[in-house]
Amino acid sequence: MAQARPVSIVEQDALQLFRITSEISQRDLPALQGMAASALSIIGAVANFKSNKKEWKAFGRFVQDAATRVALSLVDHEETREAMEVRMERVFSALTGARTEIDRLQNLNLFRRAKTFRQDPKTISALKNQISDAVEGFLVTPGRADDAVQPTVVNTATRYRERLERWLTPNAAVASSQIPSASGSNQDASLPQSSSFHTIGISGGKIYNVVGDYTAFGLDEEQLASKMALDRLPYAQGASWDPARACLPGTRLAVLSVVDEWPRSIGPQRVFLLKAVAGSGKSAIAHSVAQMFHENGHLASSFFFSRDVINRDTPQYLFTTIARDIASRHPAFAADVGRALKDEPALASAPLSRQFRDLICAPLRRHPKHSPIVVVIDALDEGISKELEVILSRDIGDLPADLRLFITSRPTRSIERCLGGKGYVKLHVIELDSDQNQQDIATYVDVKLREEIMSSKVGNAQLDEAVVRDLVAGSEGLFFWLAQAFEYLRSVSNPAQEIRLLVSTPGSQEYPAINKATDALCATILDVCV
């Protein structure tokens, strides 16, 4: 991973460059202004940490050096205002993400912070990597050395101001090569409305954008500002559904059928809550549900919480991610949210209740879809907070008419407090010893045994039905246990023999890999009781 190189400029002069930039109107150079303002904000914020002070102070210096590297590169490299803004978007986005994470950590209550502060070095490393990737394209002029730069700092600041003034000169012409002809082959009336735009030029009050292999015309400056505001809304990377993690074919057909019918049913139950203990296969069902609604056009967004992944272990990015996902599919909704963010940028980091109301519910009510759209939220118990509890218990019952929430969770006290016994919640509980769950477990075992890698190893050493039944029984209804068992069996040369040993060994005492995974699962289950 490339690291941002230190810049030969003292702290006072680095901050001078940032302040020059942060004084620009956000309307004129939004990404560049945002980059400088974010850098200054982070440098100030890290001083407020009470733990890991040395590490956070070093991170502040890292941000300062990286942002200074970007600013200095603008002095020595000729490029158009539009090209600079496009490149600067990545830097601004990375710094915004870092500031959001810092705010999240500093807003944790004392108990929660005491449990998480040991993860700070890991968090800092991840943030550094994101910023390094973003600034990699901004090169400091070769040959700068301490003794060469320090006497010319004033000159550097002056040249920097001159460069900004040239960019801010009105009616800057766009190179003719950037403006397609009216008959250009890359125009297409079938341009998807939800495509992602990247600005390359401005001329006569019109914005020229590249969208994949297409060119789009007609965005005025207000529309562009709204879209750029929407693009800067924090987004949880990797939180979406994955077909590779969905249920195996032939399993969970009963519950998937119930979920499929639910959005179209008449009644107040706009929330579907799937409850079961850890290891029962809830996440696989959630991935299958998301895939199902994606294929029939009803999926609006999906968010898979994970206590082990930064930005997915809290609800900090939940509603901003959902809002951006809905916006990517519905242009009228996108324009509405973009205008709201342009008028009030603080919404991007506002309390969750305001984000839920102003970024999701209000725009959906103003632009109804006339058919249900579904948001899938998996493992809610791994990311719930007191603030989110209040929203779930107070506001979820008044969802926009076309919005549905599919939620999976362990049966924790917090989930019971906010969703238990509510008339707008359709509850489905997976009972491990139910006939349906046992049938799904048996189907899972049958499918796994028929997989090519397993069947080729088993060969003629057929397993009798009693052994297979014992394997099913050994899972005690937990898909997680079977998944770990088959992960082990795929790695051995004689899985048939290992299966016989596995079902005949009390407690699987001779299988440390399976035991380790099962112990971790038990610890997760016990968390419910803490």
**Closest C-alpha to 384, from 431, 427, 347, 419:** 419
Note whether 347 and 332 are same-domain residues.
yes
Is the pLDDT confidence value at 16 over 70? no
Note whether 279 and 316 are same-domain residues.
yes
Q: Which amino acid is at 76?
A: D
Q: For 404-434, how does the pLDDT look when each residue is reduced to its tens digit (9 = 90+)?
A: 999 999 999 999 999 999 999 999 999 999 9
Note whether 294 and 421 are same-domain residues.
yes
Note whether 356 and 264 are same-domain residues.
yes
* Number of structural domains the chain divides into: 4
CB 269 within 8 A of CB 425: yes
Supply 126's token pair: 């991840």
Residue after which a domain boundary falls, among 429, 446, 461:
429
CB 212 within 8 A of CB 218: no
**What's the rounded mean pLDDT across residues 440-447?**
90
* CA 326 to each of CA 38, 231, 321, 330: distance values in angstroms, whole numbers, following the listed order: 27, 13, 9, 6
Tell me, yes or no, whether 2 lies in a domain.
no
**Closest C-alpha to 239, from 324, 124, 180, 169:** 324
Note whether 180 and 309 are same-domain residues.
no
> Pick the residue with more confidence: 99 or 21?
99
Q: For 120-129, how does the pLDDT look when each residue is reduced to its tens digit (9 = 90+)?
A: 999 999 999 8
Task: Specify the DSSP element, H or E, that contains 346.
Answer: none
* SS3 state of residue 134: helix
pTM of this structure = 0.59
Confidence of residue 104 (pLDDT cuts 50, 70, 90): confident
* CA 103 to each of CA 96, 99, 231: distance values in angstroms, whole numbers, following the listed order: 11, 6, 20
* SS3 state of residue 263: helix
Tell me, yes or no, whether 297 lies in a domain.
yes
Note whether 419 and 275 are same-domain residues.
yes
Residue after which a domain boundary falls, among 384, 413, 429:
429
pLDDT of residue 322: 97
Note whether 420 and 521 are same-domain residues.
no
Note whether 379 and 441 are same-domain residues.
no
Note whether 446 and 393 are same-domain residues.
no
Tell me, yes or no, whether 229 lies in a domain.
no
Is the pLDDT confidence value at 6 over 60? no
Q: What is the span of the domain harbouring residue 264?
A: 243-429
Tell me, yes or no, whether 192 lies in a domain.
yes
Contacts of 228 (CB under 8 A, 6+ apart): 30, 31, 89
CB 56 within 8 A of CB 119: no
**Segment among 52-56, 247-251, 424-428, 454-458 with least mean pLDDT:** 454-458
Q: For 290-333, how does the pLDDT look when each residue is reduced to its tens digit (9 = 90+)?
A: 999 999 999 999 999 999 898 899 999 999 999 999 998 898 99
